[in-house]
């Protein structure tokens, strides 16, 4: 998520596609018996005759804008084909099976669609940081091989192509009676993703994958000092509990060979709403973040870490009180547990909203957000505008409250509504990242300025002492 291979932009061997400038090193033309003159003459003759020189070959290449438009056109054509094939396949099914089949198909593929959305938005975050001059590599303590926003978008593009293609193949094969081949689609897709992540060779952005997996390991087992990247990624995981919950249910169905078997009662199946694994998976990201806060308190002794841990602990009652609906009598749920669930939801949403504004963002210190180094229309529309802060604060409050819907297992029957709320929570986290990273960048700058001032004061004291001795 954070790393990768980068090519030096100032290399003398690189130039922009379609540019006329061609730089030669004079040393390359020095040789014995006048080889330099003959080489220069051959270049001039080929250029006059329109020969196949590197300069002419570059001039014949299409511009980057034309290539980009061609890729967008192919992407739109591919999207239309997938929609057409998927729609025709769904219409082939009987009406009584259609909704149940779509619910099951959505269960397997929507976690990966949400993950692709998060990757797209993370690329936008990195682009804004690069334009605004915020050194995110220094903030996250990255090496020189970290991924740029273009490489992040490339990964997101492949995810956006592969996942819907597999989903379309799943729907098409099932509607045409190839149930066994349809059942293999999500299994192969999940296996391929795992293989790409753990592939031990230096391809597919090896350093980035290693950094991502290492950070996940540090989140699950906080046995060392917590870095900014550790708790930053852990915070993102708390916004993607929908992804982990559906991944658990999908893997459960694969293990029990229930893929592409729509004749099942969701609530009564081993992977359905009665499963105790659902609340356990939902609560895990919050427990990981809570352990990180306790580790920070052990290392630093700051009481703020304990208050932060308390914030994450308020999500636990919301999740488990909601899950009790499937294990108690309806009257007991309505009269006793439902009011407790509502109260815990209000406490969690209010506490989290307060912490975002006062601790994670620190609204009093905004200076760099959406302020680009070069003049830009996007920066002009957003930087310093009051409506931006009103929108961010208001949307954060609303989405914090609606996120309770997603944490509650007994409200998950309408999968389209839940998917929309999960996507909105990812968008809220996307907004949160801008202000959280800016706040951290401001803290780092203030700390460096304080250190420089302390060093200058020590130097002045040393000079005064030397003058006095003299």
Q: What is the pLDDT of residues 237-261, one digit of tens each?
A: 999 988 898 898 888 888 888 887 7
Do 33 and 73 lie in a common domain?
no
The residue written with tokens 């973040």 in the block is 289
Q: Tell me, what's the pLDDT at 117? A: 95
Q: Which two tokens stand for residue 160?
A: 């956006």
pLDDT digits (tens, 9 = 90+) for 115-160: 999 999 999 999 998 888 778 888 888 877 788 899 999 999 999 9
Residues 49 and 96 in one domain: no
Same domain? For 55 and 92 the reply is no
Q: Which domain holds residue 35?
A: 26-60
pLDDT of residue 57: 53
Q: What is the pLDDT of residues 62-118, one digit of tens each?
A: 777 888 888 889 989 998 999 999 888 888 888 777 877 888 888 899 999 999 999
Q: Are residues 44 and 175 in the same domain?
A: no
CA 302 – CA 312 distance, rounded (Å): 17
- Whether the per-residue pLDDT at 3 is higher than 90: the answer is no
User: Which pLDDT score is estimated for 461?
Assistant: 60
Q: Which residues of 118-130 are buried (b: 16+ CB within 10 A; e: fewer)?
A: bbbbbbbbbbbbb
Confidence of residue 6 (pLDDT cuts 50, 70, 90): very low
272: left (phi over 0), alpha (psi -120 to 50) or beta: beta
**Domains in the chain, number:** 2
Closest CA to 378 of 197, 128, 176: 128
Instruction: Look at residue 214 and tell me whether its pLDDT is greater than 50.
Output: yes
The reply to whether 215 and 200 lie within a common domain is yes
Q: Which of 44-53, 179-188, 207-216, 448-457 has the lowest mean pLDDT?
A: 44-53
Which pair of tokens denotes residue 216? 């996940």
Is the pLDDT score of 230 beyond 50? yes
**pLDDT over threshold 70, residue 426:** yes
The pLDDT of residue 415 is above 70: yes
35 plus 147 within the same structural domain: no
Query: Tell me, what's the pLDDT at 21?
Result: 42
Rounded to whole angstroms, the maximal C-alpha distance in the chain is: 101
Same domain membership, residue 167 and residue 31? no
The verdict on residue 68 lying in a domain is: yes
Q: Is residue 117 situated within a structural domain?
A: yes
pLDDT at 469: 53
In a domain, 263, yes or no: yes
Residues 108, 257: one domain?
yes
List the helix and strand counts (H, then E) for the chain. Answer: 18, 0
Cβ contact 369:325 at 8 Å: no
pLDDT tens for each residue of 454-463: 566 565 666 5
Provide the pLDDT for residue 121: 95
Percent share of the chain, pLDDT over 90? 29
DSSP label at residue 263:
-
Mean pLDDT, rounded, for 379-383 = 80
What is the Cα–Cα distance from 83 to 85, expressed in whole angstroms? 6
Q: pTM (2 decimals)?
A: 0.80
Distance CA 240, CA 229 (A): 17
> Do 85 and 46 share a structural domain?
no
> C-alpha angle 466/467/469, rounded to 5°?
65
Is residue 371, in this structure, part of any structural domain at all? no
Q: How confident is the model at residue 276 (pLDDT cuts 50, 70, 90)?
A: confident
pLDDT of 378: 78
Residue 45, domain member (yes or no): yes
Please, which pLDDT band fits residue 15 given cuts at 50, 70 and 90?
very low
Could you tell me if 53 and 168 lie in one domain? no
Would the pLDDT of 161 be above 70?
Answer: yes
Task: Judge whether 274 and 142 are in contact, CB under 8 Å.
Answer: no
Q: Which of 47-61, 154-168, 210-224, 347-361 bottoms out in mean pLDDT, i.e. has the lowest?
A: 47-61
The whole-number pLDDT of residue 411 equals 58
The verdict on residue 360 lying in a domain is: no
How far is the C-alpha of 265 from the C-alpha of 274, rounded, in Å? 11
Mean pLDDT throughout 360-370?
A: 75
What is the per-residue pLDDT for 22? 41
For residues 242 and 117, give the distance between their C-alpha atoms in angstroms, rounded to a whole number: 13
Q: How many CB atoms lie within 10 A of CB 74?
A: 11
Cα-based distances in Å from 50 to 1, 20, 43, 46, 55 = 46, 14, 10, 6, 10
- Within-domain flag for 183: yes
Q: What is the mean pLDDT of the chain?
A: 79
Give the least confident one: 138-152, 309-323, 335-349, 371-385: 371-385
Report the alpha-carbon distance of residue 289 to residue 293 in Å, rounded: 6
Q: Is residue 370 part of a domain?
A: no
355's CB contacts (< 8 A; 6+ apart) are 308, 311
Cα 215–Cα 217–Cα 220 angle in degrees, nearest 5: 110
Distance between CA 209 and CA 148 in Å, rounded? Answer: 14
pLDDT over threshold 70, residue 40: no
Name the more confident of 333 and 113: 113
Closest to 239 (Cα-Cα) out of 78, 106, 109, 356: 356
Which is higher by pLDDT, 26 or 326?
326
pLDDT exceeds 50 at position 440? yes
**Residue 137 shares a structural domain with residue 259:** yes
Please indicate, yes or no, whether residues 36 and 150 belong to a single structural domain of this protein: no
Q: Higher confidence at residue 68 or residue 346?
A: 346
Which pLDDT belongs to residue 153? 92
Structure tokens at 181: 């081949």
Cα–Cα distances in Å, from 455 out to 140, 265, 459, 466? 26, 70, 6, 16
Report pLDDT for 195.
93
């Amino acid at each position: 998520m954070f790393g990768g291979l980068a090519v030096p932009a100032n290399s003398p061997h690189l130039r922009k596609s379609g540019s006329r400038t061609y730089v030669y090193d004079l040393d390359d033309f020095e040789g014995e018996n006048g080889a330099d003159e003959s080489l220069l003459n051959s270049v001039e003759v080929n250029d006059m005759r329109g020969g196949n020189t590197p300069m002419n070959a570059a001039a014949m290449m299409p511009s980057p804008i034309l290539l980009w438009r061609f890729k967008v056109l192919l992407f739109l054509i591919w999207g239309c084909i997938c929609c057409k094939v998927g729609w025709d396949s769904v219409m082939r099914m009987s009406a009584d099976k259609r909704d149940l089949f779509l619910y099951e198909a959505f269960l397997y593929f929507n976690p990966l669609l949400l993950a692709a959305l998060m990757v797209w938005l993370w690329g936008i975050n990195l682009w804004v940081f690069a334009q605004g001059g915020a050194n995110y590599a220094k903030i996250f303590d990255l090496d020189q091989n970290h991924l740029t926003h273009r490489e992040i978008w490339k990964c997101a593009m492949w995810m956006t192509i592969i996942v819907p293609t597999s989903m379309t193949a799943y729907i098409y094969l099932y509607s045409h009676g190839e149930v066994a081949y349809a059942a293999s689609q999500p299994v192969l897709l999940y296996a391929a993703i795992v293989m790409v992540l753990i592939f031990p060779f230096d391809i597919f952005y090896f350093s980035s994958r290693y950094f991502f997996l290492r950070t996940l390991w540090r989140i699950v087992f906080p046995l060392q000092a917590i870095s900014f990247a550790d708790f930053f990624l852990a915070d993102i995981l708390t916004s993607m509990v929908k992804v982990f919950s559906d991944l658990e249910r999908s893997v459960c169905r694969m293990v029990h060979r229930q893929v592409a078997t729509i004749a099942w009662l969701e609530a009564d199946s081993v992977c359905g709403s009665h499963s105790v694994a659902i609340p356990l998976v939902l609560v895990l990201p919050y427990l990981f973040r809570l352990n990180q806060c306790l580790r920070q308190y052990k290392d630093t002794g700051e009481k703020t870490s304990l208050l932060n841990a308390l914030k994450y602990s308020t999500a636990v009652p919301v999740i488990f009180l909601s899950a009790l609906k499937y294990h108690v009598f309806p009257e007991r749920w309505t009269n006793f547990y439902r009011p407790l669930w509502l109260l815990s939801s209000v406490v969690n949403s209010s506490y989290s909203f307060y912490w975002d504004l006062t601790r994670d963002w620190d609204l009093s210190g905004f200076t760099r957000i959406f302020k680009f180094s070069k003049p830009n229309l996007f920066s002009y529309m957003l930087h310093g505008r009051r409506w931006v802060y009103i929108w961010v604060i208001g949307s954060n409050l609303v989405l914090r409250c609606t996120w309770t819907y997603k944490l509650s297992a007994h409200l998950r029957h309408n999968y389209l509504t839940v998917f929309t709320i999960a996507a909105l929570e990812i968008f809220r986290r996307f907004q949160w990242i801008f202000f959280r990273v800016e706040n951290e960048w401001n803290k780092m700058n203030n700390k460096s300025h304080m250190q420089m001032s302390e060093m200058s004061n020590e130097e002045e004291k040393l000079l005064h002492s030397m003058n006095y001795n003299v």
